Amino acid sequence: MKILLLGFGNVGKAFRKLVNEKDRAKELQNVKIIGIVNSKGLMIGDNENFKVDKKIDLLQAIDEVQPDVIVDMLPANYNNGEPSLSLYLNALHKGIHVITTNKAPLALKYSEIMKEAEKHNAKVLFQGTVMSGTPSVNLYKVMPGQRVFRIKGILNGTTNYILTKMYEGLDYNSALKEAQDKGYAERDPELDINGFDAAGKISILTNVYFGKNITIHDVKFEGIKNINNELINKTREKGTKIKLIAYSDGKETYVKPLEIDKNDPLYNVNGVLNALEIESDIQNTTIIGPGAGPINAAYGALSDLILLIRT
Ligand code: 80F
């Protein structure tokens, strides 16, 4: 399996490291990174130290190295999903599989991407887009036959980290700086703070869990901009907490800060942890795990890669 890795930042570097730890899974023995692209150009082959071999763009890189799968770890662009969106359509048209941690193209053009994949018998795998390496997208694949009524959770690591730190007494700016230093935040952290990231994620999960074709524009969302230390102190005194909650029942989909009490299972989901509660006619299932972090997001893509080889 030949990989073209797109993006060599926090997550891209962590992914490269995981892929080269061949003892993780027998499926990795025949996996090879044959090219890496960053904003400077293409490096042919696989090396920890990036150097530009060809100053070509992303589309040209696909033709140059002819991979079996592209792994997208480029920054999220919610204006139009580019350059990733065009890359997916181009790659899928050629029967090249897509693995991605980048939410934007799927949050904007889910059905277009999936139709193109189906037409050319190629796969699009995207566990890393929601809750990083904690199964959320892929969890659905192992619970067939359940009638899902609603899903609800905490889907952004950065804002949950910031709110948690504010309850511990830290100010907003220092908490954000810590989240950035740990590699949790988006390149443009506004995308975390204003709710875009969580809205993109709940739109993707709505499509997966309810078989819909919604986009981020169908999600009502609000971030944590208006949550100040005064509000935090007030709720702390009451024994409640404010959390940025994402919700969908397939009809109504939103992201907003909500006050929750001690009995709510999401009350103790703190720091970079995320959670997803799935309510169905059979049972309620809750999964909790890291929602962000370079190695965690990279693992989401690695798990997709191994599952792709197995099928
Ligand atoms: P980073 O900015 O470190 O790296 C981006 C790379 O892309 C760089 O190598 C850059 O040169 C390259 N690049 C940019 N534009 C390019 C272009 N036009 N052509 C070629 N190369 C270009 O980004 P990260 O942190 O490595 O993230 C990569 C992707 O993973 C983004 O789409 C993220 O949204 C996604 N992701 C990141 C996560 C994380 O923890 C987690 C899951 C997905 O919940 C949260 O708090 C979320 N903020 C994180 S979720 N870092």
Selected catalytic residue, list 13, 201, 241, 243? 201
What pLDDT does 266 receive?
97
Q: Is residue 182 exposed (0-12), middle (13-18) or buried (19+ Cβ within 10 Å)?
A: middle
CATH number reported for the structural domain that contains residue 209 in this entry: 3.30.360.10
ipTM value: 0.98
239 is in an annotated binding site: no
Q: Is the minimum distance from the CB of 74 to ligand 1 under 6 angstroms?
A: yes
Q: For 154-203, what is each residue's pLDDT tens digit?
A: 999 999 999 999 999 999 999 999 999 999 999 999 999 999 999 999 99
Q: What is the mean pLDDT of residues 45-53?
A: 97
In a domain, 159, yes or no: yes
**Do residues 195 and 277 both lie within one domain?**
yes
Instruction: Report the interhelical angle of 172-181 vs 157-167 (nearest 10°).
Output: 140
C-alpha triplet 1, 115, 75: angle, nearest 5°: 65
Alpha carbon of residue 9 to chain centroid: 15
For residue 260, what pLDDT band results from cuts at 50, 70 and 90? very high
In a domain, 90, yes or no: yes
Identify which of 108, 274, 304 has the alpha carbon closest to the alpha carbon of residue 192. 274
23 with 55: CB under 8 angstroms?
A: no
**Do residues 110 and 249 both lie within one domain?**
no
In a domain, 137, yes or no: no
Domain that holds residue 224: 143-290
- Across all residues in the chain, what is the average pLDDT? 97
Q: Whose CA is nearest to atom 49 of ligand 1?
A: 292
In a domain, 239, yes or no: yes
User: Catalytic annotation on 201?
Assistant: yes
For residue 108, what pLDDT band results from cuts at 50, 70 and 90? very high
Q: For 281-297, what is each residue's pLDDT tens digit?
A: 999 999 999 999 999 99
Q: Which atom of ligand 1 is nearest to the CA of 185?
A: 48
**Do residues 125 and 249 both lie within one domain?**
no
β-strands 273-280, 220-221: how paired?
unpaired
State the Cα–Cα distance between residues 293 and 139, nearest whole angstrom: 20
In a domain, 8, yes or no: yes
**Do residues 247 and 300 both lie within one domain?**
no
In a domain, 138, yes or no: no
Q: Which atom of ligand 1 is nearest to the CA of 158?
A: 46
What pLDDT does 198 receive?
98
CATH number reported for the structural domain that contains residue 93 in this entry: 3.40.50.720
Domain count of the fold of the chain: 2
10 is in an annotated binding site: yes
